Structure 1
Amino acid sequence: MTYRRNIIAPLAAAVALAFAPLGAATAAPAAKVSAEVAEAGHKALLAIADQYYDAAARFEPIGATENGDNRFDDQLGMSISPVKRAAQFKLYRQFAQRLKAVKREQLVESDRINYDILQYELNGLIAMERFPEHLLPLSQMDSMPVTLANYAGGEASQPIGTVKEYEAYLSRVSQLPAWIDQAIANMREGMKKGVTQPKPLMVSALPQFKQLLSATPEASIYYTPITKLPASFPDADKPRLTAAYRNTINDKVMPALVRLANFIEHDYLPACRTTTGLSAVPDGAAWYQARVANATTTSLKPEEIHAIGLKEVARIQSEFAVLGPKLGYTGPAAGLPVWVAAQAKFYPFKTEEEVQAVYHKLSDVLDTKLPQMFTLLPKAKLDLRLEPELSRATASDHYTAPAGDGSRPGVFWSVVNDPSKYGSTGMTTLFLHEGKPGHHFHIALTQELNLPNFRKFGGNNAFTEGWALYAETLGKEMGLFEDPAQYFGHLNDEMLRAVRLVVDTGMHAKGWTREQSIQYMKDTLGYDVVAKTETERYMAWPGQALGYKVGSLKIQELRARAQKALGDKFNLPAFHAVVLGDGTVPLALLEQKVDRWIASQQ
């Protein structure tokens, strides 16, 4: 359950370096400068910011597409190429040098925020160059062939509805063989250097790549757009596009996919490492700390995050102990999730439409309650849709952003494979997170603010997922968790986020094995449905899952600080406007914003 976004953002290895200017500079009061000087600084900063974003988007055009920027939908990108990678880091250093020439003290406040975040991103990216991310180009969680396959239905981030869009998708598919050959070369290099994926991840990934193979081009998932050719297309375009798709898939894509599947099965899998954590590869401990810094936008050490996770697990378990009897359960707290999962009354649905009806009713209820908490609202609408059948088997409930030009609304996608197995207890907290006031209020609003593209289409995981997890907690204030079953669903999801802090740091910093993580998740969550897949997710994306809880706890901490300092003067809609009003920011900058707001209210 997450917001699908491939953020073009830093993996900030030297977070102290990244935040030193940010922290010191933003604390200083804005100097009085003339309008002419401020405007000159604004133009210089914006030129660097826009050129930086376009360079990053061309380097990772799939990321741009995921973020709602469809200008590069015909490009696949070759960021895994060592030559392209070296050139990109050279560009980042040039942007950083140019930024230093802009006098920050002569900028207006909004430009200072842009300056600080751009400086932070560039520092973090440059610090990341030493770590060979490109030698791990794919996993069971993330690979270019599967990403393009998921786009094939035209329902995801890449639209496929016009002749131009059909051509753009075909262009991307035609670039896939070169990407595959580069990925194979990189993995061979990784085998020599001891930088490989853990074996269980590739055991899970191999069936995905075999599933992409097809006996004929017409049977390929990449041919899906042709099966949906609009009748309105010009007669000349239909046979032209059909032939182009068929020939590209048959002559280029299928042979490349065969090469990839064979390489993984016969060469890469036997060479994969038997260790679990990133710290097991050369320079791995520093590499993991870099990823932790990126995921949390803090200088927290893995050991500190591990301790926070254990503390949160204990707190939530104590709430389970109180909640259990209200649901009719009298066993040990850790057993509550298993008991709930076995109760037929929490699986009341017979059809997809019944599931959707609950979400629509909840959306209507929120429309009456959220105005008491928010004055800053996005203009973009939120649509509620069922996940298309094509991607339903592998997807989880999620949110996709509105189009940057307003042509497409934000969408909450519910994934209903079997209505009778769709649990009702987690629906309220899920919608608060993925829909409103979670991802939709933050992401849609960010796109509507007058921000440079690198911020409109970029961001960081700690703020994005931290806000959505904080948004879940508002359900209690709105009376949405008075039903014990819905409050259980909230706590159950929160427990998963707390457990992530423990097992992610356990595996990558404390020497835990994959089996240890799976067992801890089974023991703590009380069920094993997600233990294996979640553990392997954290193995594939070290640090990624840490941002949720760290970000949420920081927002809750800042709210408590403001309430204590302001007393009767505290205004919740105003606090939310401060948090969301400048779009996505690193947590250190968010803290400074809130502290300045508290001071101004006093």
Structure 2
Amino acid sequence: MKCTTRIATASLAVALAFIPLSNTFALPLADAANRPVPRVSATPAHQALQAIATEYYDAVARFEPIGATENGDNRYDAQLGLSISPGKRALQFKLYRDFAKRVKAIKREVLNAEDRLDYDILRYELRRLIAMERFPEHLLPINQMDSVPVTLANYAGGQASQPIGTVTQYDAYLSRISQMPAWIDQAIANMRDGIKKGITQPKAIMISALPQYKKLLSDTPEQSIYYTPIKNLPASFSAADKARLTEAYRKQIAEQIMPALGRLAAFVEKDYIPACRTSTGLGALPDGAAWYQARVANATTTSLKPDEIHAIGLREVARIQSQFEVLGPKLGYNGPAAGLPVWVAAQPKFRPFKTEQEVQAVYHKLNDVLDTKLPLMFTLVPKAKLDLRLEPELSRDTASDHYTAPAIDGSRPGVFWSVVTDPTKYGSTGMTTLFLHEGKPGHHFHIALMQELNLPDFRKFGGNNAFTEGWALYSETLGKEMGLFDDPAQYFGHLNDELLRATRLVVDTGMHAKGWTREQSIKYMRETLGYDEVAKSETERYMAWPAQALGYKIGSLKIVELRHRAEEALGERFSLPKFHEVVLSDGTLPLALLEEKVDRWIAQQQ
């Protein structure tokens, strides 16, 4: 939720968000509204369902332990997993099929309301996971947006999702990086197999990825980013622990990790990039059209077709640009509406920063303002705090501003990571809407709260992209009601970010379903959004993660639709805090189940 939560990671929420699902599975209507606490049921059906749910979550977390870490579950921090191994992958899908049979054997009608919701979501997830088996994503183990070596490097400072502060945590991180050489060798073997089968990444995104892998190399173990924990050894550690850990890290990095990273960088540069495809979209691969449709269904939790989403995107682009006609003169711009983003991007006054600290100060001030305004809109809020941090230097060139979940035990807060590669180029107009999305009430109010709800682990640490990103994008719209967009520059930033999400619907479906080239996408984004270099990185993001970016706008449009439906039906009885509670109080739901829940709430209020 990565994911995304940080989407550049293999987190459980994100892993599920990227796994294709079947179009043929119709969701039963959900029966849970505001679930009672605690969950009390002792029927055999309840016990059987919860046993399956527990085993299922554990199986997924052990298969993708980095996913558990990213979502705040640190019980698997010593494990890396080898989910890209064809053998392990086959065994995992067999597990999923076995779980699906066991769930199907439970009679749904004998379950109580809250168990039925667990049942529906579990069946939904298993069906989409099983549908993934058809598509060989393990042959595409790395790209410029996420890879295990870069993710583990980002953990090295101990400030990200994997804490490194106690002796046990130091041992866990050492154990995890010690498993990386085997992962790298499996990834290389998979990519060689992919070359033979004509299943490779687009060449352009691997050219963008290569500098990351080279940057991980170092002349000595002490210079390696993976040695960072040893440079930060707590004074409280015993002399024996300090000596043991220092020697173990140095030996592992020198003898295993650096040679493996050298193999990876050399393979990518000399063998893989020359063999990579020059095409752009997923549709160019064998079975690519079905592969992309499955990802679309998964990312949106709908049965929408790429052509339908493309049309929605074009309509949204036109609607938002029409608002630029009114806004432009307030900013001092009197040209064509479509040219407003380009004009704003060229104005030095909207890039006022000289240091990273100046950027951070704006976010801290906004955070304080929201603390006074959000209580009027929300009564259901997370207990976990939100911290504001700068993105680690290693990943700044490819990362986007993002959120990571708090630790489930409360030892680490939720974090909003701002990516400041060059403060003099950091635009000020989009900062408010960005923080509403990645910070609060966006990802933090949803993801941190979900961990505090009385939910089974597979829901507490899982999710789907349409709800997760749809809620965050909907949260941006609340800025207008709070008066945060009274400044025309900040309102432009909000509209322009909304335009980005609409543009994604156009270019993602364009590249993966309509044959658009990378260059076509970059050109369209530049002309529509006024972006320059960002158009390249955004386009390459969608190339690396087909359909992931579709969930934002599709999910947001559904939540806005449901709110309008409730406002019209309830009139003066409509309560915005209560509506938000209804949306958030069961954690992440597929959109069909969310709609049924809101409709039930409306009927109860009437």
Q: TM over 0.5: same fold?
A: yes
CA contact (8 A) 1:199 1:272 kept: yes
3-state SS of paired residue (1:17) = coil
Q: CA deviation at 1:469?
A: 0.3
Q: CA deviation at 1:397?
A: 2.3
Q: 1:415 to 1:36 in 2, by over 3 A?
A: closer
Cα distance in 1 for residues equivalent to 2:177 and 2:40: 48
Structure 2 portions without partners, runs of 5+: 34-38
3-state SS of paired residue (1:425) = coil
Describe how 1:269-348 pairs up with structure 2 within 5 A: 269-348=273-352
Describe how 1:1-20 pairs up with structure 2 within 5 A: 3-4=5-6, 6=11, 7=13, 8-9=15-16, 13-18=20-25, 20=26
Describe how 1:383-462 pairs up with structure 2 within 5 A: 383-389=387-393, 391-462=395-466
TM-superposition CA deviations, 1:50-93 (whole Å, max 9, x none): 11001000000011111111011011110000000000000001
3-state SS of paired residue (1:9) = helix
Q: CA deviation at 1:386?
A: 3.4
CA contact (8 A) 2:145 2:399 kept: no
Q: CA deviation at 1:47?
A: 0.8
* Aligned residue among 120, 129, 133 for 2:137: 133
CA contact (8 A) 2:46 2:115 kept: yes
3-state SS of paired residue (2:179) = helix
Q: CA deviation at 1:387?
A: 3.6
What's the % identity of the aligned pairs?
78
3-state SS of paired residue (2:445) = helix
* Aligned residue among 52, 55, 59 for 2:56: 52
| 1:151 partnered with 2:155 | yes
Cα distance in 1 for residues equivalent to 2:32 and 2:476: 34
The aligned counterpart of 1:215 is 219
Q: CA deviation at 1:334?
A: 2.2
Cα distance in 2 for residues equivalent to 1:253 and 1:36: 49
CA contact (8 A) 1:15 1:298 kept: no
The aligned counterpart of 2:36 is none
Choose 131-140 or 380-389, whichever is displaced more.
Answer: 380-389
Q: CA deviation at 1:259?
A: 1.3
| 1:90 partnered with 2:94 | yes
CA contact (8 A) 1:37 1:106 kept: no
Q: CA deviation at 1:390?
A: 5.6
Cα distance in 1 for residues equivalent to 2:539 and 2:32: 43
TM-score, normalization by structure 1 = 0.95
The aligned counterpart of 2:43 is 39
Q: 1:249 to 1:412 in 2, by over 3 A?
A: same
CA contact (8 A) 2:79 2:175 kept: yes
The aligned counterpart of 2:123 is 119
Cα distance in 1 for residues equivalent to 2:321 and 2:564: 23
Q: 1:269 to 1:109 in 2, by over 3 A?
A: same
TM-superposition CA deviations, 1:421-456 (whole Å, max 9, x none): 332211111111111111111111101100011111
Q: 1:593 to 1:38 in 2, by over 3 A?
A: farther
The one-letter amino acid of 1:472's match is E
Cα distance in 1 for residues equivalent to 2:400 and 2:192: 33
The aligned counterpart of 1:373 is 377
The aligned counterpart of 1:103 is 107
CA contact (8 A) 1:10 1:125 kept: no
The one-letter amino acid of 2:24's match is L
CA contact (8 A) 2:386 2:415 kept: yes
The one-letter amino acid of 2:384's match is A
The one-letter amino acid of 1:92's match is Y
Q: 1:353 to 1:494 in 2, by over 3 A?
A: same
Q: 1:351 to 1:195 in 2, by over 3 A?
A: closer
CA contact (8 A) 2:199 2:286 kept: yes
3-state SS of paired residue (1:26) = coil
TM-superposition CA deviations, 1:138-164 (whole Å, max 9, x none): 111111111111111111111111111
The one-letter amino acid of 1:4's match is R
Cα distance in 1 for residues equivalent to 2:436 and 2:283: 36
CA contact (8 A) 1:38 1:107 kept: no
TM-superposition CA deviations, 1:13-61 (whole Å, max 9, x none): 454433x2x23x43799xxxxx998633222111100110010000000
What is the RMSD computed on CA atoms of the aligned residues? 2.0
* Aligned residue among 185, 204, 207 for 1:200: 204
CA contact (8 A) 1:12 1:293 kept: no
TM-superposition CA deviations, 1:159-217 (whole Å, max 9, x none): 11111111111111111111111111111111111111111111111121111111111
Aligned residues: 595
The one-letter amino acid of 1:356's match is Q
CA contact (8 A) 2:202 2:280 kept: yes
TM-superposition CA deviations, 1:316-336 (whole Å, max 9, x none): 111112111000011122221
TM-superposition CA deviations, 1:507-531 (whole Å, max 9, x none): 0001111111111111111221211
Q: Which runs of 4+ in 1 moved over 4 A?
A: 10-14, 35-38, 388-394
Structure 1 portions without partners, runs of 5+: 30-34
The one-letter amino acid of 2:387's match is D
CA contact (8 A) 2:405 2:415 kept: yes
CA contact (8 A) 1:293 1:299 kept: yes
The aligned counterpart of 1:483 is 487
CA contact (8 A) 1:153 1:390 kept: no
The aligned counterpart of 1:226 is 230
Cα distance in 2 for residues equivalent to 1:545 and 1:36: 38
| 1:263 partnered with 2:267 | yes
TM-superposition CA deviations, 1:328-363 (whole Å, max 9, x none): 011122221222222232233344443333222222
The aligned counterpart of 2:66 is 62
Q: CA deviation at 1:105?
A: 1.2
CA contact (8 A) 2:281 2:513 kept: yes
